[in-house]
Structures are given as structure tokens and as C-alpha cells.
Structure 1
């Protein structure tokens, strides 16, 4: 599937629960993603989120198809350092909140407005403050 270059009007970020619910055709999440795309928002996911969401019953063909329509953001040295700084600032430990911190770091550097579909609203609020809109899924 070829990716079109769009003039993006913001960004939608999915955490692992957002991806899991999209994979399972959870109607509210499917609708939110469709609405974001209709508004010209780019859909983005962290490479680590894929690892967190996949399990032995994951439909790999559907996963591959869904991911082909998203930008998968890698996590390198700079992203890891920035996520660690967010953890420290929020007083959280990486052992429990590492991937949340990566999702927060990803969200904070995206084109505004940014919406994050997450099951961890409280944790991401600590990490992002009021800089992104969090939608519970």
C-alpha cells in the first residue's frame, strides 16, 4: 500500500490498548480512527507498542494491514532519553511505566493537535500534562 503525502492536520497516537481494540474491530475505536483520518490526522504508533499489544491470538494478517496505514515511530537513543526524562519529571519508575513514557514522548513531539487513544489516562496525564488530548478506550 503506497503512502500518500498529506498536509496533516494533527496526529492520532495509539497505545497498546488502542491498537488491540482496533485489531478486534471495537466499533468506538474504529470510528475514532476513521474520524481522525477523515480530518487529515496522521495515525502514529510506537514500535514498542506493537510489541506490547501482540499475543498468540493476534491476527497477524490484520495487524500487518492496519500497521501499513500508520506511521511506526522507532525508539532510538534520543527518544529513550526523552522518555526517561519524562519518567523522572513525573516521579514514575521505568520498570512499570517504560512503554507509557515512550508513548507520551512520541505524542509530545507530534504535530498538534495531538490525540492519544489510551487505557492509561491517569499515567499519561502525569507524563504529558495537559499538552495532548487523552481519550480513554
Structure 2
């Protein structure tokens, strides 16, 4: 499966969850990005959001060792607040993590490709500033 040309690949919680469950299609996407030198990025917040009680800890550590886990910065929080306001005053738990991960995506080398199950949220937050691919 050929993805659009990108300089950064961002995984949302569903994409990371699929990777942790050894989803063949997700593994193929990650390997394809690696082959062409595209970094695969995941927010530290996404890790918390994607992991649940039955996640194999050894697998989690192995998968994360092969990704670039990004910290949330002060600047990300301010960017996220602005993005939520620009998107019509979105707020609260439903949008907080997505907005912070979107802020991380916007500071990543463009063009950015986001693998997500929340196309609508990403579209509201980023518009056409990122490429979105459904998982």
C-alpha cells in the first residue's frame, strides 16, 4: 500500500493500538515509511491513550523503541488551545489529547501524514495542514 509522500508519519491512538496488536496492515505501513526514511512519530499522550490492561508490556516497550516518542511541550499546549478556539471553541476531554497530538504534528517536518480513526477531529483541528489516512 503506497502512502502519499510524507516527511513525518504520525500515529494516533487507534493506529498505535493496531500496531501493538500486531495488525499486519499497520506493520506494513510502518515498515514502508521506515524503508524510505520517514520517521514514525507518536505522542507520549498517545501511548497512555492506546494502552489498556491487556497490553503486553514487553511488546509495548519493543514497539516504542522503534518509534520516535515525542514529549508534549509548553508550546504544544498553547498551539492546542489556539487550534481548539479556531475550530469553533472546541474544548474538554473529547478534544484535549487530539489537539495536543495535532500540535505535535504541526511542529513535525511537513508534509505530515496522520494515521487515525478520528478523521473528523483531525479535519476540524488541522484543516488541510496535514494529510489524513483512515485506519
Q: Contact 1:118–1:134 (CA<8 Å) still a contact in 2?
A: yes
Alignment of 1:41-120 (within 5 A): 41-91=38-88, 92-120=90-118
Correspondence 1:24 to 2:46: no
Give the TM-score normalised by structure 1: 0.90
What is the total number of aligned residue pairs between the two structures?
Answer: 129
Extract unaligned runs of 5+ from structure 2. 1-5
Report the CA distance between 1:94 and its aligned residue: 3.0
Aligned CA-pair RMSD: 1.1
Q: CA deviation at 1:122?
A: 0.8
Contact 1:47-1:74 within 8 A present in 2 as well? yes
Using the alignment, how far apart are the partners of 2:54 and 2:101 within structure 1? 24
What TM-score comes out, normalization by structure 2 length?
0.91
Runs of 4+ in 1 over 2 A off after TM superposition: none
In structure 1, the gaps of 5 or more residues are 1-8
